[in-house]
Structure 1
């Protein structure tokens, strides 16, 4: 039985899903050079081969579905349909059909985000950056963003965590070489260098998401053991410094070689002497009041 996907946010989903049924009188032809991607458009990466294939289809069948745009003076900013716009330009079209909508900058971003998520056009980093923009620039909560795009709050939180990756890992997610399932375990590694090395190994070894998780788990366990070992070494170094300090003080005071053996606050002090006279001197020094 197919799992039903959560519905898009009220109002936003309605506009996106029903735009084909818009009154055809609202569709206008505008010069393609007057149209450009909207500010804050979440999608930044486009597959050239897919754009070229769509351009060929448009040459043969035309643009069946108009772009949704918002207008500012004599410029039109794309809310939905940037792939069609790019393909139409590649196909040499001079004009393009659009449906004009009044929308604030925030609404443009919301609509573009919903459009791209519904079509699964965004790579994981683009999606995460779009969520972050809504949170930071428009003071939305994770719950509000989740309701808007029809996802759970935890799903939004997990996507936002992807922004903590190193640039190299982000680029691998953008290019599609690394999936989010393979990448997520890498977040357990603190340094960017460790993340990069783990990503390279996962790709080189062809690990799936589960195998990547097990691999990173082993890395973190080794890292913990290494940290514990380093902490033990540091503790031992500090202890030896303290022992040498006490030995030097006693040697200076007694005028002879002194050996201090200490174990957790317990131990013994060995004082060396090399003649009866030196022994008597030490006894007198240690017992005088």
Structure 2
């Protein structure tokens, strides 16, 4: 992000100073959305810095008090690599930022690099909304991304903790994570995520499984509602049939005069037992 872009985004930069700063006087930005820094790439960058120095200065926030350290607005990866390289001082642009500008600049700088993980990106959008009191539409407008795009990322924050770890670790993709979120039985979500990894399910295969599971759940809910709406007389018949047959029985009424009885069994052995209770012989 260049200075003009940064000013346009925040509109609250008060002053700018360029100087060499002791690395010991620098601290990370608490609003940094990036949680994971590739160690191998950091080492590569540190080796490059040892040989050629830092071509792009860090952007730091001017401390409010003399005893405080400079806060990184942009360039934490270069800062970490500089520490690895053993540098004592690094080039920096010092700016006088408010808390709001610091957070927004850090988040936008990382989002524009486009290498945040899906969860880090989702948390960045959430931070903008929470800390700056913005709506999804306002975040969308500031970042030049569609509102559905922002909403799809924010939905990832509703995943169970273990599934978030799978997404963060690259075991499942964002497309798979979004498909899992469509599952109505949320208590089965983590189990299906494990199955996705174990069987190597594609997004399309996962969509089919989720759709079927949701259809089964809808049927189960309809049966439950239908049962709850039955008269005490019909429910009593079901209870007595169930006790007599030793299995689940349902009386389904189609009208005042018509209906049907459904008897459930889980195996051929159980069916034989039910037929014996009913004195039905197939010999």
Q: TM-score, normalised by structure 1?
A: 0.71
Which is richer in helix? 1
**Cα drift, residue 214 of structure 1:** 2.5
Q: TM-score, normalised by structure 2?
A: 0.72
Q: Give the direction of change, closer, same or farther, for the CA distance of 1:262–1:131 in structure 2 (3 Å limit).
A: closer
Q: What runs of 5+ residues in structure 2 fail to find an aligned partner?
A: 11-15, 240-250, 259-283
Query: What corresponds to 1:160 in structure 2?
Result: 154
Distance 1:28 1:262 in 2: 82
The 5 Å alignment of 1:191-230 reads 191-230=185-224
* Cα contact 1:12–1:148 (8 A) shared by 2: no
Distance 2:151 2:104 in 1: 17
Distance 1:227 1:57 in 2: 62
Distance 1:126 1:56 in 2: 27
* Aligned pair partner of 1:133 in 103, 111, 127: 127
Distance 1:13 1:213 in 2: 44
Query: What corresponds to 1:69 in structure 2?
Result: 60
Q: Give the direction of change, closer, same or farther, for the CA distance of 1:162–1:233 in structure 2 (3 Å limit).
A: same
The 5 Å alignment of 1:129-278 reads 129-232=123-226, 238-241=232-235, 265=256
Distance 1:144 1:220 in 2: 34
Q: Give the direction of change, closer, same or farther, for the CA distance of 1:12–1:157 in structure 2 (3 Å limit).
A: farther
Please tell me the root mean square deviation across aligned C-alpha atoms, in Å: 3.2
* Cα contact 2:31–2:107 (8 A) shared by 1: no
Distance 1:123 1:173 in 2: 9
Alignment partner of 1:123 is 2:117 = yes
User: Could you say what secondary structure the match of 1:139 adopts?
Assistant: coil
User: Could you say what secondary structure the match of 2:175 adopts?
Assistant: helix
* Cα contact 2:50–2:85 (8 A) shared by 1: yes
Number of equivalenced pairs: 237
User: Could you say what secondary structure the match of 2:126 adopts?
Assistant: helix
Alignment partner of 1:31 is 2:22 = yes
Q: Report which of the two structures shows the higher radius of gyration computed on alpha carbons.
A: 1
